[in-house]
């Protein structure tokens, strides 16, 4: 008997062989209804929240970390300018964003998704704006559709995923342009150097104008100013 059998762990092969192809297709068909329900619930819940800015960052950042405090300050100052805040609803940077919005008396939205060892709703989300998702792609649509800007704090793969998807959608004209703000020169400068030196100069995989898709800042005032300056020039409107 294999080690995976002895430990009652399914290998990819045994997991796939447990159902025949017809059963797999049937399950896929029923999943469509669950996906539709998540979209409908998201649209109905978020349609009237008003202008908001999404704040992204690591769920693992502790409340005593300078970046946590910076995210909280940014959220607070955004609410003072009339913006609500949308986060992934969990701990770390997400909690900091919701905490700052709550402190400022602004709209505080949490788009939660169950993640191993990390995700649980933080206590600073408005009770009627605390949404749960099973599907990452539905949740990501909500972030883009109802955000007038992205504040991207230091984070991991999920943060990078949201950042690059937003830039791709703007680059390919699939959504309207909105401001993307990277916070923390020490954290982001290595990635930006790689984008410039490898993607642009060496491989010619992007255009020079693509570097204008994001701004790099270090302070809360700078981050809020990028959002404010953008909407002094462009009209606030839904992204799609």
Please report, for the domain that includes residue 149, its CATH number.
3.40.50.450
- Please check whether residue 2 lies inside any domain of the structure: no
What is the distance, to the nearest Å, from the Cα of residue 192 to the centroid of all Cα atoms in its chain?
Answer: 19
pTM of the model as a whole: 0.86
| Amino acid 120: pLDDT | 79
pLDDT(49) > 70: yes
Whether the Cβ atoms of residue 77 and residue 224 lie closer than 8 Å to each other: yes
- Please check whether residue 228 lies inside any domain of the structure: yes
Instruction: Report the interhelical angle of 93-103 vs 66-80 (nearest 10°).
Output: 40
- Please check whether residue 210 lies inside any domain of the structure: yes
For the chain, the domain total comes to 1
Angle, vertex CA 134, rays to CA 130 and CA 139, nearest 5: 60
Domain span at residue 131 reads 30-233
- Please check whether residue 212 lies inside any domain of the structure: yes
| Amino acid 197: pLDDT | 98
| Amino acid 33: pLDDT | 92
| Amino acid 4: pLDDT | 43
| Amino acid 239: pLDDT | 66
List, for residues 211-236, the tens digit of each pLDDT value: 999 999 999 999 999 999 999 998 77
List, for residues 127-152, the tens digit of each pLDDT value: 999 999 999 999 999 999 999 999 99
Higher per-residue confidence, 25 vs 29? 29
- Please check whether residue 23 lies inside any domain of the structure: no
- Please check whether residue 114 lies inside any domain of the structure: yes
What is the distance, to the nearest Å, from the Cα of residue 149 to the centroid of all Cα atoms in its chain?
Answer: 11
User: Cα–Cα distance between 100 and 95 in angstroms, integer?
Assistant: 9
Q: What is the layout of strands, in order, in the sheet containing 215-217? A: 130-133, 108-113, 84-87, 52-56, 150-152, 180-183, 215-217
């Amino acid at each position: 008997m294999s080690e995976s059998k002895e430990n009652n762990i399914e290998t990819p092969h045994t997991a796939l062989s447990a159902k025949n192809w017809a059963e797999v297709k049937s399950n896929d068909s029923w999943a469509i209804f669950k996906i539709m329900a998540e979209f409908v619930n998201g649209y109905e819940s978020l349609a009237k929240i008003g202008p908001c800015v999404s704040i992204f960052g690591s769920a693992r950042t502790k409340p005593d970390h300078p970046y946590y405090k910076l995210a909280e300050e940014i959220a607070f100052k955004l609410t003072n300018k009339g913006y609500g805040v949308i986060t992934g609803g969990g701990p770390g940077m997400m909690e900091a964003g919701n905490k700052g919005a709550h402190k400022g008396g602004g709209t505080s939205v949490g788009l939660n998704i169950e993640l191993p060892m990390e995700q649980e709703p933080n206590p600073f989300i408005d009770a009627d704006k605390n949404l749960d998702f099973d599907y990452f792609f539905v949740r990501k649509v909500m972030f883009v559709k109802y955000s007038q800007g992205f504040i991207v704090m230091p984070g991991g793969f999920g943060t990078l995923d949201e950042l690059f998807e937003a830039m791709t959608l703007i680059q390919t004209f699939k959504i309207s342009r909105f401001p993307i703000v990277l916070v923390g020169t020490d954290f982001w400068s290595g990635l930006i150097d790689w984008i410039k030196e490898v993607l642009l100069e060496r491989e010619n995989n992007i255009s020079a104008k693509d570097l204008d898709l994001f701004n790099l800042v270090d302070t809360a005032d700078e981050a809020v100013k990028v959002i404010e300056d953008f909407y002094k020039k462009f009209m606030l409107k839904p992204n799609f």
